[in-house]
Amino acid sequence: MGNFNTPADSQLGRETAYPDRYDPALLFPIPRAAARAQIGVDDQALPFTGHDGWNVYELSWLDLRGKPQVAVGRLTVPADSPHLIESKSLKLYLNSFNSERLADAESLQARIERDLSATAGAPVSMVFGLPGMGVIAGENIDFVDVDINEYGPPNARLLQADDSSHVNETLVSDLLKSNCPVTGQPDWATLSIDYRGPRIEREGLLKYLASYRDYREFHEQCVERIFIDLMTHCRLQSLSVQANYTRRGGVDINPWRGTPDRLPPPDLRVLRQ
């Protein structure tokens, strides 16, 4: 199942021929531990729960008589899996089913769950169908009037919270942008922060999110960094962070991390997806 190596060893940034036959070896796992160590997280004692939710828009295969079939689906990779799954390898893998003959959709589901679980190192689930479209409820902070001049690396010192005012609220921003660590391609997301604790200062939060703009890191790693920075610098009691990234190559990813008291947020696709 691929090489347990660095992103530079993956198919990212390389001219790649799309496969003409099913090939689970296309899947490329990336260990989570190294990036977590950089933000002070012990991979064996995670301070959060969560998952990576992939919306898959371009599933296709052949039935036993050769007739093309199509579907959409949702993949869920647990955050405590040893490896994340690199996105381009996932796209190539899913396209490798295009000429594969299968008895039914359940056979496709079983094979995808088996292959992705082996790659991630933990049980990965798949369901057919996609979450509904909607708007994340909360206060959108994008209209705060502020001067910004830091665009990377992320600067957690910009975060401030008012210890004299404790709240329970959700803040939303469409301005999160980071970049692929290998190709430099932009990754765009709607970020939602649901928390309980000292009131987060809006100007500092918006400046902090803008400081990801020229930064190179995978989607999942950005969300975990945001989670740790908010918990550390804003002294929060409870926190849920989710990023709904826009679609590329027929998939979008929605990493969610929360304190252990949190339940997963409802599955929802924002309009940008």
List, for residues 17-33, the tens digit of each pLDDT value: 778 899 999 999 999 99
44 lies in a domain?
yes
Q: Same domain for 124 and 167?
A: no
Looking at this protein, which amino acid is placed at residue 7? P
Task: Identify the pLDDT of residue 216.
Answer: 95
115 is catalytic: no
- Give the domain CATH number at 80: 3.30.1130.10
| C-alpha distance from residue 178 to each of 54, 90, 109, 187, 219 (Å) | 18, 20, 32, 5, 8
What is the distance between the alpha carbons of residues 95 and 106, in angstroms, rounded to a whole number?
Answer: 17
pLDDT band with cut points at 50, 70 and 90 for residue 97: very high
pLDDT at 146 over 90: yes
Residues 93 and 157 in one domain: no
Kindly state whether residues 158 and 194 are assigned to the same domain: yes
Does some domain include residue 112? Answer: yes
Final residue before a domain boundary, out of 95, 128, 161: 128
Q: Note down the domain range covering 201.
A: 139-258
- Flag whether 87 is marked binding: yes
- 249 in a known ligand binding site: yes
**Residue where one domain finishes, among candidates 108, 128, 148:** 128
Within this chain, do residues 251 and 182 fall inside the same structural domain, yes or no?
yes
Length of the chain: 273
pLDDT at 3: 45
In the residue annotation, 180 being an active-site residue is answered as yes
Q: Are 206 and 175 in contact (CB under 8 A)?
A: yes
- Are residues 239 and 176 both part of a single domain? yes
pLDDT at site 54: 98
Q: What's the confidence (pLDDT) of residue 4?
A: 46
- Asked if the structure places residue 192 within a domain, the reply is yes
- Mark whether 12 and 124 lie in a shared domain: yes
* 177 lies in the same domain as 216: yes
**Is residue 270's pLDDT more than 70?**
yes
In this prediction, residue 20 carries a pLDDT of 85
In this structure, the answer to whether residues 247 and 147 fall within a common structural domain is yes
pLDDT, tens digit (0-9, with 9 covering 90-100), for 198-247: 999 999 999 999 999 999 999 999 999 999 999 999 999 999 999 999 99
Q: Which of these three, 92, 109, 128, is where a domain ends? A: 128
Residues 119, 147 share a domain: no
Same domain, 55 and 107: yes
Beta bridge partner(s), residue 216: 179
Residues 113 and 144 in one domain: no
Residues 120 and 143 in one domain: no
Mean pLDDT of 46-61: 98
173 is in an annotated binding site: no
Q: Give the other-Cβ count within 10 Å of 149's Cβ.
A: 7
The DSSP secondary-structure symbol of 133 reads B
Tell me if 219 is assigned to a ligand binding site: yes
**pLDDT score of 1 more than 50:** no
What confidence tens digit (pLDDT) does each residue in 107-142 have? 999 999 999 999 999 999 999 999 999 999 999 999
- Is position 220 annotated in a ligand binding site? yes
Residue 231 lies in a domain: yes
**Confidence band, pLDDT 50/70/90 cuts, at residue 59:** very high
Mean pLDDT to the nearest integer, 36-41: 97
Strand 161-179, strand 139-140: pairing: parallel
**Longest CA pairwise span in the chain (Å):** 68
- At residue 15, the pLDDT reads 62
Instruction: Quote the percentage of the chain above a pLDDT of 90.
Output: 91
Amino acid at 59: L
Is residue 1, in this structure, part of any structural domain at all?
Answer: no
Q: Which of 95, 18, 8, 99 is nearest to 58 (CA)?
A: 95
Residue 273 lies in a domain: no
Q: What is the pLDDT of residue 7?
A: 61
Per-chain mean pLDDT for the chain? 94
What's the rounded mean pLDDT across residues 244-270?
96
Which conformational region is residue 260 in: left (phi greater than 0), alpha (psi within -120 to 50 degrees), or beta? alpha
How many domains does the chain divide into? 2
Q: What is the pLDDT of residue 11?
A: 53
Catalytic residue among 52, 115, 174, 187, which?
187
CA nearest neighbour of 251 among 25, 41, 12, 59: 59
The catalytically annotated residue of 52, 115, 180, 194 is: 180
Q: 3-class DSSP state for residue 16?
A: coil
For residue 263, tell me if it sits in a domain. no
> Alpha helix (H) ranges present in 42-185?
87-95, 105-120
250 pLDDT above the threshold of 80: yes
- Would residue 134 count as lying in a domain? no
